[in-house]
Structure 1
Amino acid sequence: MDRRRGLSVRLKLTLSYAGFLMLAGALLLAAVGVFLLRQGWLLTNERGAVRATPGTVFLRSFAPTAAGVMAFLLVFGLLGGWFLAGRMLAPLDRITHATRTAEAGSLSHRIRLPGRRDEFRELADALDTMLARLEAHVVEQQRFAANASHELRTPLAVSKALLDVARTDPDQDTDEIIDRLHSVNTRAIDLTEALLLLSRAGQRSFAREHVDLSLLAEEATETLLPLAERHGVILETGGDVTPSVGSPTLLLQLTTNLVHNAIVHNIPGRGRVWVHTTPGAHTSLLTVENTGELINAHQASTLTEPFQRGTERVHTGHPGVGLGLAIVNTITQAHDGTLTLTPRPAGGLRITVELPTSPPRSGR
């Protein structure tokens, strides 16, 4: 926004200090003057005592002194006020420099204002925290964009290669090429839809309704039962009525992703998945636990990042698009919930989603 330049804050504070000092001095001199007028002083000269009026005494003796004092207070107030204002506003120079550096695109700069905590230091610390979060967010978005571009480029490159083969080799089996193109195209569509869902969930642009997590768990397991049967995985669902608040569509997607993830990243032919819901006074729990290969704590902590895949996924034949748990994490955060991933000692993973039972006060 273009604005006309006004007086600096330092100059305003200087004038305020000087004005206040002048006012205090004027009041003090006025009090002394009133006192002198009431005393009715006598003037003496070389000829002897001559009685004068109090007003004459004040004008001849006190007024010049008062004017000199006021002039001194004005100069002292301006100089002292300018110095004190500069000292007080010095932290703002560092804060302004940091914000301009961030505006230029460098988010790694920090203010790190020294000294004890006061209003300026609280502001500087808040800005440092904001800059740190912005830097982490930008780095995450850049990494996400690079990974998404790579993931989207793969099916496009495969499609181009298949079309080139069909064009240059007329004896190639057309049905086989069509089937492979269909598979590649389906993967590209799934990835695009997952990216769109991830974006919508992150924006929190959804209406909140009362939902029952136990019903969502039953619906998700029924939908994925054929997939579990094909993998030889046993599904077990349990739990009482578990109320929560949020988007039924997004929470169903969250539950479906968790159950799907637990099925395809399991032990083929002898795996098990446990889906359980637990109601609470302020929060409700959705827990999905599965058997599988051993996962360490570091691997578990990275599985919610976009396009991160555990080592066991290479052997399942269902690599997915790498956004299943990332979508779960985003939906959980959009509902002001908590997502916890815990490796099982015997292998596999235990995932717990904790969601509030009432809408947030902020009305987000």
Structure 2
Amino acid sequence: MLPPKPLNPWKGRGAVSNIQGRYETDQREQFDDGWAPSEDEDAEPTQFKTVVTDEYAKSILSRNASPDVPFSVSLNPYRGCEHGCIYCFARPTHSYLGLSPGLDFESRIFAKVNAAELLRRELAKPSYVPEPIAIGVNTDAYQPCERERGLTRQVLEVLRECQHPVALISKSSLMERDIDILADMASRRQACAAITLTTLDHDIARTLEPRAAAPARRLRTIRTLAEAGIPVGVSVAPIIPFVTEPEIERILEAAYEAGASSAHYVVLRLPWEVNPLFQEWLQAHFPERAQRVMNRVRDMRGGKDYDSDFSKRMHGEGVWADLIAQRFKKCVDRLGLRKRAMNFAEMDASQFRKPLVIPPPPGKQSGNAVGQLDLFG
């Protein structure tokens, strides 16, 4: 029996393989029986094409009670993310769809085409109490397919109409497209943004988050948003030992110079299938330091690859986690940055008004009806 061929990176993709999700009942292994056509080992792998599928969601707002998360309501217009960030904690959610958290997650994208309609119905409920909605926290709301689909902009238009506070986080320069909406809302303390900046090294970024905006382009987005009067912070996440960790101070300084007013960080998290996917990525791109990286990760996770405890999962524990926290705090204090990338407490929900037009429930649409007016709005 021949050993399986070593995994090679796919061009423009973060995951090295399409590992099975944890709910799959049949297990498959890579095996070369010698009958496959011979390939040049130095040749680049074939492209893995992206497929975007329309999805009619049943609900659009997600709620959480996590004590280490600064918001309780979020909205994600897409499932899966073409940015392909290897460390993405949302990868395991593709397992619920019977798809792989690996290459499927970044190439099989689902667009919630009725997102704005569902949001209108949610905001129109008599029991709805407004509080800031975070957009793009699970998968990036400004990933490439948003250029054509425009679902995030549709959602923002509803929120502006209702004067509802919103916070966005992204790795994409596409957020600049919606400055007209965001600047208007920010003038009423109803919008803020955060740009995730993991590294300033273009070569690392190209493999770590292959289809996200380049680091220099993200810095320009921070500057553009800040100049438009939109409060913008930087999210240094995740901090990966021996890969992006040496850059903490330089990232914060660059973001500050670009106009960021606040900062936040998260150390590398490896829940469920993210763990084997990340270790495959390490072996493919940083084989000489892969063991050192994982040893340090375990030092910050009580000897484990990951600890989901709310008090530890974001920042870790132990000597090395404390050292990162001290470095981050000292640099943030020196620069005069606030220690939270998005400040929800400062956002104004008092001006909220219910939507004037409420779409009819599914199955009750007839003819060319576009919905009914809210008599009590």
TM-score when normalising by structure 2? 0.19
Higher RCO (CA < 8 A, seq sep 6+): 2
TM-score when normalising by structure 1? 0.19
